[in-house]
Amino acid sequence: MANLYQEQSNNVWRTLWLMTGFLIVVIAVGFAVSYYYGEPSILYGAVIFALLMNVGSCWFSDKIVLSMTHAKPATRGEYFDFYTVTENLAITAGLPMPKLYVIHDPAPNAFATGRDEKHAVVAATTGLLSMMSRSELEGVIAHELSHIKNRDMLVMTIAVVLAGFVAIVADLFLRMSLFGGGNRDDNGKTGALFAVLAIVAVILAPIAAQLIQLAISRRREYLADASGALLTRYPEGLASALQKIGAYGRPMQNASHATAHLFIGNPFGSKAGQFMNKLFSTHPPVEDRVRRLLGH
Name the residue with higher pLDDT: 212 or 113.
Answer: 113
Average pLDDT, integer, range 202-216: 59
Domain ranges in the chain are: 4-66+153-215
Instruction: Considering the candidates 144, 221, 236, 287, report the single residue annotated as catalytic.
Output: 144
Q: Is 184 left (phi over 0), alpha (psi -120 to 50) or beta?
A: beta
Q: What is the DSSP letter of 117?
A: G
Is the pLDDT at 246 greater than 50? The verdict is: yes
Average pLDDT, integer, range 238-266: 89
Helix (H, G, I), strand (E, B) or coil at 263: strand
Helix (H, G, I), strand (E, B) or coil at 97: coil
Confidence of residue 186 (pLDDT cuts 50, 70, 90): very low
Name the residue with higher pLDDT: 184 or 229.
Answer: 229
Give the helix, strand, coil percentages of the chain, each rounded to 5: 65, 5, 25
Confidence of residue 179 (pLDDT cuts 50, 70, 90): low
User: Which of the residue ranges 59-73, 162-176, 212-226, 227-241 would you say has the lowest mean pLDDT?
Assistant: 162-176
Is the pLDDT at 237 greater than 60? The verdict is: yes
Name the residue with higher pLDDT: 213 or 31.
Answer: 31
> What integer pLDDT is reported at residue 112 of this predicted model?
94
pTM for the full predicted model? 0.74
Q: Please provide residue 33's backbone torsions phi and psi, each rounded to the nearest 5 degrees.
A: -70, -40
User: Which of the residue ranges 183-187, 217-221, 284-288 would you say has the lowest mean pLDDT?
Assistant: 183-187
Average pLDDT, integer, range 103-117: 93
In terms of DSSP bridges, do strands 121-125 and 99-103 run parallel, antiparallel, or are they unpaired? Answer: parallel
> What integer pLDDT is reported at residue 219 of this predicted model?
76
Is residue 138 flagged as an active site residue?
no
User: Which of the residue ranges 21-25, 77-81, 127-131, 239-243 would you say has the lowest mean pLDDT?
Assistant: 21-25
DSSP notation for 34-77: HHHHT-HHHHHHHHHHHHHHHHHHHHHHHHHHHHHTT-EE--TT
Name the residue with higher pLDDT: 21 or 275.
Answer: 21
Q: Please provide residue 72's backbone torsions phi and psi, each rounded to the nearest 5 degrees.
A: -125, 150
